[in-house]
Amino acid sequence: MPQFTVSPRNEPSQNGLLMSITPESAGWSYVGFEVYRLEAGQKLKQATGEQEVCLVLLSGKADVTTEDQSWSNIGSRMNVFEQTPPYSVYVPNDNSFEVEATTVLELAVCKAPGRGNHASRLIAPGEVGVEVRGSGNTQRYIHNILPEQEPADSLLVVEVFTPEGHWSSYPPHKHDRDALPDESLLEETYYFRVQPDQGFAIQRVYTDDRTLDETFAVTDGQAVLVPKGYHPVSAPPGYQVYYLNVMAGPTRKWKFHNDPAHEWIAGKPRPE
């Protein structure tokens, strides 16, 4: 079976790396994703090369510098479950960035192909679209960090808070066909945090023909790769579930297709 789950290192590497997903390691073409834990005063430097980057300050504060901009002591939350929008920084390809942690910092580095169309910029919490999606036990809370309406070449970045006992990415939907305007092809990573941290989330990834049909118990700090198929998530009673999604594909548009067997849950007629 291909690798669909990625676990963090037991301890960060010397440069703070906890997790690295590349197109090569994932077996796909677009999305890269890294997580770092930096101590106060520790620095991370990278050249972006051919990739555009979205730095998401998951928790903690930092100074961030690119070749064309700098921002001091940004960061709005010390734990993702404070549920306030994060500070993020967009960095184009053929650029570089340096992050210096001013507190303990959990940093996500989201990557996808860039084409040099945009400048570095800060995405402050007030610029993040906040949305409530679903109702009843499918209600969840969305922070649209880098949606398709905001400038970027490939990246789409969003975080989701799923209350205990609720479902999200639900009804099950997919975006694995380059068939606009009906559906877009987007690779996707899910990076999970769970509170309390001994808990877990459940994620199923499956296709219509069931040639892919896997269900995972995902623990705090793990990631799930979604190369294709439907991919609903459940938060068990007693545990809040957070995930950060990174998506990219040939066209920067999020157009999904619901599983016809379950689409009635979204208000369509129930199938006979």
pLDDT, mean of residues 191-201:
98
pTM over 0.85, yes/no: yes
- Residue 1 confidence (pLDDT): 47
Q: What is the pLDDT of residue 72?
A: 98
Amino acid making up residue 37: R
Q: Distance between terminal CA atoms of the chain? A: 35
pLDDT tens, position by position, 89-107 = 999 999 999 999 999 999 9
For residue 233, CA distances in Å to 40, 83, 98, 145, 243 come to 34, 18, 34, 20, 10
| Alpha-carbon span 52 to 115, nearest angstrom | 8
- Do residues 156 and 146 make contact, with C-beta atoms less than 8 angstroms apart? yes
Side chain identity at residue 130, one-letter code: V
Rounded to an integer, what distance in angstroms lies between the CA atom of residue 212 and that of residue 214? 6
Backbone angles phi, psi at 136, to 5 degrees: 60, -135
Domain boundaries, the chain: 5-265
User: In the CATH scheme, what architecture does the domain 5-265 have?
Assistant: Sandwich (2.60)
pLDDT at 3: 83
What pLDDT was estimated at residue 2? 62
Sign of CA dihedral 270, 179, 213, 224: negative
Model confidence pLDDT, tens digit, residues 44-84: 999 999 999 999 999 999 999 999 999 999 999 999 999 99
Residue 17's pLDDT band (cuts 50, 70, 90) = very high
Least confident interval from 1-15, 91-105, 233-247: 1-15
Residue 272 has pLDDT above 80, yes or no: no
